[in-house]
Amino acid sequence: MATLEIHDLHVSVDAEGGPREILRGVDLTVKQGETHAIMGPNGSGKSTLAYSLAGHPKYTVTGGTVTLDGEDVLAMSVDERARAGVFLAMQYPVEVPGVSVSNFLRTSATAIRGEAPKLRTWVKEVKEAMERLHIDPSFAERNVNEGFSGGEKKRHEILQLELLKPAIAILDETDSGLDVDALRVVSEGVNRVRESGRVGTLLITHYTRILRYIKPDHVHVFAAGRIAESGGPELADKLEEEGYEAYAKGGASE
């Protein structure tokens, strides 16, 4: 049972004019099989949390701990984190010029599994996963994220999620820029991976819309760099009605 434990995490970003503290003491435990929704206003630090967990070099951890099954995640390189089973689907995925989706997936799977997947079964695995996500077969030969539409980027991330089978999946605004049909396909993908019971999911979102398709076990409100409130799915309903005003600066969170 993989468990991600975040304790009193403080993170600064290297901004112009010097470092700026963004995360101010985040506490969160995500167990395999659980889905946690992280919700909150723009600029509250949700993406910073995601990048910090994945090991993005722009973000400096100034305090606190992150462990995966007791192993110090913060001491791991980006690659080591991926091999340990931490997967990040970014809010703004980057282009990888000259690398096809097909090669990218196989290289990633090889790195994470520690050996190249057997070609025959792998080709079948990829083909089936693409069919489930309604992705055209020609997509596999395109360069990663080059000219991808918003929907294609998100489907590509869920494709990785299905094939790489991480222990902890961090999905940063996977719902943004999706029309209702794409949102349904993407959500079905996330739910398939969840139903395996093998992944702990951190679903970061600004809007409650995606929570109609993916039902979280826990909902956390992020405000000013920390978790201001935690609850069950009913908390998302409250947010849908009342918005984030109660958590605004100088409000309940300080």
* Minimum distance of ligand ADP from residue 38's CB (angstroms): 9
Q: Does 47 bind Mg ion (CB under 5 A)?
A: yes
Retrieve residue 3's tokens: 């468990």
Task: Give the bridge partners for 31, in sequence order.
Answer: 3
Q: Which of residues 2-41 bind ligand ADP (CB under 6 A)?
A: 13, 15, 22, 40
Residues near 201 by beta carbon (within 8 Å), at least 6 away in sequence: 30, 34, 35, 36, 168, 169, 171, 190, 193, 194
Number of residues that this document lists for the chain? 254
| 41-73: burial string, b at 16+ Cβ within 10 Å, e else | beebbbbbbbbbbbbbeebebeebebbbeeeeb
Smallest separation (angstroms) from ligand ADP to the CB of 172: 7
Tell me, residue by residue from 152 to 171, as one string, x for binding to Mg ion by CB under 5 A and - for no binding: --------------------
216 and 37 in contact (C-beta within 8 Å)? yes
Among 12, 32, 44, 187, binds ligand ADP (CB under 6 A): 44
Of 145-184, binders to ligand ADP (CB under 6 A) are: none
Instruction: Closer to ligand ADP by CB, 4 or 11: give it.
Output: 11
Binders of Mg ion among 185-244, rule CB under 5 A?
none
45 near ligand ADP, judged by CB under 6 A: yes
CB of 130 to ligand ADP, least distance (A): 29
Is residue 151 part of the contact set for Mg ion (CB under 5 A)?
no
> If DSSP codes are grouped into helix, strand and coil, which group holds residue 83?
helix
Residue 138, interface with ligand ADP (CB under 6 A)? Answer: no
Q: DSSP strand E in the chain: where?
A: 3-15, 18-31, 35-39, 59-68, 71-72, 86-89, 96-100, 143-144, 168-172, 200-205, 218-223, 226-231
Instruction: Report the nearest approach of ligand ADP to the CB of residue 207 (Å).
Output: 12
**Does residue 42 belong to the site contacting ligand ADP (CB under 6 A)?**
yes
> By CB under 5 A, is residue 177 in contact with Mg ion?
no
Residue count, binding to Mg ion (CB under 5 A): 4
Regarding 55 and contact with ligand ADP (CB under 6 A), the answer is: no
Query: At CB < 8 A and 24+ separation, what contacts does 114-121 make?
Result: 114/83
Helix (H, G, I), strand (E, B) or coil at 147: coil
- Bridge-based pairing state of the strands 59-68 and 3-15: antiparallel
Provide the minimum distance between the beta carbon of 45 and ligand ADP in the complex, in angstroms, as a whole number: 4
46 binds ligand ADP (CB under 6 A): yes
The footprint of ligand ADP (CB under 6 A) covers 13, 15, 22, 40, 42-48, 58
